[in-house]
Amino acid sequence: MDPYFNLSELEKKLRKIIEEYYALRSVGGKVISFPSGKGGVGKTSIVVNLAAALALKGKKVAIVDLNLALPNVSLFIENMPEKTVTHFLCGEAKLSETSAKLSVKKAEIDVYPAESIVDLKKKIKIERIGDLALELKPMYDYILFDQSPGLSKFAVYPTLVADVVFVVSADIKPAYLDAIKVRDVLESSDVNFNGFVVNMAKRKNLKYFYNERVYATIPYDWRLKNAFSSGKTVFQLRFSFLSSSRRAFSNFAKRLIEDFPPERE
């Protein structure tokens, strides 16, 4: 955890923003946040493939890349916009200027990619995530946040404005221990925690998460790995109907729609 990051101080600064957001959060699409303890557990793969599964079920979906150090969502789009979410958070662009498209079969997903703050060398106004969520909620059924790993302010802020929070991990001990730490911090801060998403599971009976609140499990699938490497979702692969992860994402989307439907006035 960032030694200079004070969660209590963060909550005080965000109090007004969050209260305003909570007053409106029941209206519109669901903002779904995907934090993790470690990097490399497949958050981007989870977000993009879940978005594809939701879109193929007729839902209007947006992906927002909030991994502001090492953004990866841009790998899945053909045309990168001149302005990105990073520019929006710096106050240098309208959100509408930062969107791109991802087509999966007959479905279309709006993608809001990011540019690395290391490259941009600008000061991020991370509290603008509340404004971002409020602007997108009336436009979509589901808004998926692909986040930075760990417990820095860049990882915690998105969870504060989310309707649903899933901690992503893998069923290996180091990732499990870090995921539990993230869960504990979220729950102690009264942030929604709706369960773990365990990625790359190599066995039906989980070794470390067997006694935890697991919302979805994505099995290890070489097809999914190949799809990510080529900038595609598993749904776009030839013979994708043979993929175990494709079935898992479809089931994940189905359950999500049943448990967290968008709310309209």
DSSP states along 22-80:
HHHTTSBSEEEEE-BSSSSS-HHHHHHHHHHHHHHTT--EEEEEE--SS--GGGG-SS-
Q: What is the pLDDT of residues 219-241, one digit of tens each?
A: 999 999 999 999 999 999 988 88
Note if the pTM is more than 0.75. Answer: yes
| C-alpha radius of gyration, the chain, whole number | 17
Q: What is the pLDDT of residues 80-109, one digit of tens each?
A: 999 999 999 999 999 999 999 999 999 999
What is the set of domains in the chain, with CATH numbers? 7-258 (3.40.50.300)
Contact 32, 163 (CB under 8 A): yes
